[in-house]
Amino acid sequence: MNSSDQIKKNVAKKALEYIHTGQTVGIGSGTTVQAFIHLLKEKIDQGLRITTIAASLESEKLLKSYGISVDDTITSCDLYIDGADEIDEDKNCLKGLGRALFREKIIATMSKQVIICVDESKRSLKLHKAPIVCEILPFGFHATIKLIEKLGYRGKLRCDENHQKIVTDNGNYLFDIKLKDVLDDPKKAHLALKHIPGVLETGIFFNIVNKVLVGLKEGQVIEI
């Protein structure tokens, strides 16, 4: 049986097979992506040349520390590599547990190919386990939460262990909606939430993922 870290490495290694010199590559965030960046550095040392754009300050810092070029003026990517918190059979996913959903969605949307790297535990027939994360504007956030609740959702403003509100890389707050039931229509849920002016973006990704790499406990990586 492979450890969780080893599974992440296995999936990251598979994702690396899609990277070629001359590409612009969107780099997501989270621990699986960190494993990917470590392996990417080895390839860069061997002569691979790419330009990247990063979905979080943390990923950007790691890329830069390895001497990998990061350019946030890029307008399109050949491919985007990221993790997810949960993914369903139709490749819809829930993202944002690592705070970075907003930039992640911007980069995924500008990418020709979106590859999501997960382990088996993140797969579901229908989304229901992970929260729907909403990035919300600090101004008027009480009113925004009231409107989210008016849609029938219940959740929590994300705070740290000292009860301080978590602030994203973009200076906003996060509201985590706990799902009571499976998410039958991710697009509909996204559009309803996005209709609230204070909701800047949601962690519901639909019609955007092209390929899923799933790391199995036994060590193999399957492509979906």
Residues at the interface with ligand A5P (CB under 6 A): 28-32, 82-85, 95-101, 104
Q: Which is nearer to ligand A5P, 6 or 147 (CB)?
A: 6
Among all residues, whose Cβ is closest to ligand A5P? Answer: 30
Least distance CB 29 / ligand A5P (angstroms):
5
Terminus-to-terminus CA distance in the chain, angstroms? 22
104 is catalytic: yes
- Rounded CA gap, 177 and 169, in Å? 20
Smaller CB separation from ligand A5P, 60 or 82: 82
Closer of 28 and 198 to ligand A5P (Cβ)? 28
Q: Which of 60, 86, 104, 201 is flagged as catalytic? A: 104
Compute the distance between CA of residue 115 and CA of residue 104 in angstroms, rounded to an integer.
12
In contact, 183 and 126? CB cutoff 8 Å: yes
Among residues 32 and 124, whose Cβ is nearest to ligand A5P? Answer: 32
The residue among 45 and 120 lying less far from ligand A5P, judged by its C-beta, is: 120
CA atoms within 13 Å, Cβ hemisphere of 219: 1
Please say whether the beta carbons of 95 and 203 come within 8 A: yes
- Residues contacting residue 68 through CB under 8 Å, at least 6 positions apart: 37, 40, 41, 44, 50, 52
CB of 98 to ligand A5P, least distance (A): 3
CB 25 within 8 A of CB 77: yes
User: Please, what is the minimum distance in Å from the beta carbon of residue 86 to ligand A5P?
Assistant: 9
The count of C-alpha atoms lying within 13 angstroms of the C-alpha of 115, restricted to the half-sphere facing its C-beta, is: 25
Least Cβ distance, residue 150 to ligand A5P (angstroms): 26
SS3 state at 37: helix
Closest approach, Cβ 108 to ligand A5P, in A, equals 10
Catalytic residue numbers? 104
